[in-house]
Structure 1
Amino acid sequence: MANLTIDNVIKTYGQTEVLKGINIAIEKGEFLILVGPSGCGKSTLMNSIAGLEDVTGGRILIGDTDVTQAAPKDRDIAMVFQSYALYPNMSVRENIAFGLEIRKVPKPEREAEVQRVASLLQIEHLLDRKPGQLSGGQRQRVAMGRALARRPKLYLFDEPLSNLDAKLRVEMRTEIKKLHQRLGTTIVYVTHDQIEAMTLADRIAVMRAGELLQLGSPQEIYDDPANQFVAGFMGSPAMNFVPCRLVAGDAGLGVEITDGNGNPAWLPVPNPERLSGHAGQEVVLGIRPEMITDPVPHKAEDPLVRQVPMKVLVTEPTGADTMLVTEINGVELNCRINPGYSTPVGETVPLMFDMSKAVFFDPNSEARIDRA
Structure 2
Amino acid sequence: MAALTINNVVKNYGQGDVLKGINIAINSGEFLILVGPSGCGKSTLMNMIAGLETVTSGEILMGDDDVTNVEPKDRDIAMVFQSYALYPNMSVAENIAFGLEIRKVPKDERMKEVQRVAKLLQIEHLLDRKPGQLSGGQRQRVAMGRALARRPRLYLFDEPLSNLDAKLRVEMRTEIKKLHQNLGTTIVYVTHDQIEAMTLADRIAVMKDGIVQQFGTPQEIYDNPANQFVAGFMGSPAMNFIPCRLVGKGTEIMAEVQDAFGKVQYLPVPNPQALASMSGKDVILGLRPEKITEPLQHKEHEPLIRHLQLKVLVTEPTGADTMLVSELNGEQVDCRVGPRFGVKPGEITDLMLDMSLAVFFDPETGARIDQ
2:26 matched residue in structure 1: 26
Q: CA deviation at 1:260?
A: 4.0
- Aligned to 2:149, the other structure's residue is in SS state helix
1:115 matched residue in structure 2: 115
Q: Please, which runs of 5 or more residues in structure 2 have no aligned partner? A: none
User: Residues 126-275 of structure 1: matches in 2 within 5 Å?
Assistant: 126-250=126-250, 252-275=252-275
1:104 matched residue in structure 2: 104
Q: Deviations over 1:45-83 (max 9, x none)?
A: 000000110110011111211111111101100000000
CA distance in 1: counterparts of 2:226 and 2:90, whole angstroms: 48
Contact 1:257 1:266 (8 Å CA) reproduced: yes
User: Residues 16-55 of structure 1: matches in 2 within 5 Å?
Assistant: 16-55=16-55
Q: Deviations over 1:275-327 (max 9, x none)?
A: 01100101110000000000011222222101111111100011101000111
Contact 2:92 2:142 (8 Å CA) reproduced: yes
Q: CA deviation at 1:263?
A: 2.7
Q: CA deviation at 1:351?
A: 0.2
Percent identical pairs in the alignment equals 75
- Partner amino acid, structure 1, of 2:14: G
Q: CA deviation at 1:262?
A: 2.3
Per the normalisation by structure 1, the TM-score is 0.98
Larger mean CA deviation between 140-149 and 246-255 belongs to: 246-255
CA distance in 2: counterparts of 1:252 and 1:65, whole angstroms: 53
User: Residues 284-303 of structure 1: matches in 2 within 5 Å?
Assistant: 284-303=284-303
1:359 matched residue in structure 2: 359
Contact 2:80 2:147 (8 Å CA) reproduced: yes
- Partner amino acid, structure 2, of 1:177: K
CA distance in 2: counterparts of 1:332 and 1:370, whole angstroms: 25
CA distance in 2: counterparts of 1:57 and 1:250, whole angstroms: 53
CA distance in 1: counterparts of 2:222 and 2:349, whole angstroms: 28
Q: Please, which runs of 5 or more residues in structure 1 have no aligned partner? A: none
Q: Deviations over 1:311-367 (max 9, x none)?
A: 111000111010001111110000000111111111111000000000011111111
1:335 matched residue in structure 2: 335
- Partner amino acid, structure 2, of 1:274: A
CA distance in 2: counterparts of 1:53 and 1:116, whole angstroms: 33
Confirm or deny that 1:344 pairs with 2:324: no
Q: CA deviation at 1:138?
A: 0.3
CA distance in 1: counterparts of 2:5 and 2:251, whole angstroms: 49
1:307 matched residue in structure 2: 307
- Partner amino acid, structure 2, of 1:168: L
Confirm or deny that 1:72 pairs with 2:72: yes
CA distance in 2: counterparts of 1:217 and 1:354, whole angstroms: 23
Aligned residue pairs, count: 371
- Partner amino acid, structure 2, of 1:174: T
Contact 1:41 1:210 (8 Å CA) reproduced: yes
Larger mean CA deviation between 245-254 and 213-222 belongs to: 245-254
CA distance in 1: counterparts of 2:262 and 2:251, whole angstroms: 22
Q: CA deviation at 1:251?
A: 7.3
Contact 2:41 2:209 (8 Å CA) reproduced: yes
Q: CA deviation at 1:252?
A: 2.1
Contact 1:26 1:32 (8 Å CA) reproduced: yes
Q: CA deviation at 1:189?
A: 0.2
CA distance in 2: counterparts of 1:251 and 1:174, whole angstroms: 49
Per the normalisation by structure 2, the TM-score is 0.99
1:323 matched residue in structure 2: 323
- Partner amino acid, structure 2, of 1:158: D
CA distance in 1: counterparts of 2:251 and 2:287, whole angstroms: 21
Contact 1:261 1:311 (8 Å CA) reproduced: no
Contact 2:260 2:309 (8 Å CA) reproduced: no
- Aligned to 2:356, the other structure's residue is in SS state helix
CA distance in 1: counterparts of 2:5 and 2:300, whole angstroms: 49
Larger mean CA deviation between 119-128 and 300-309 belongs to: 300-309
Contact 1:260 1:330 (8 Å CA) reproduced: no
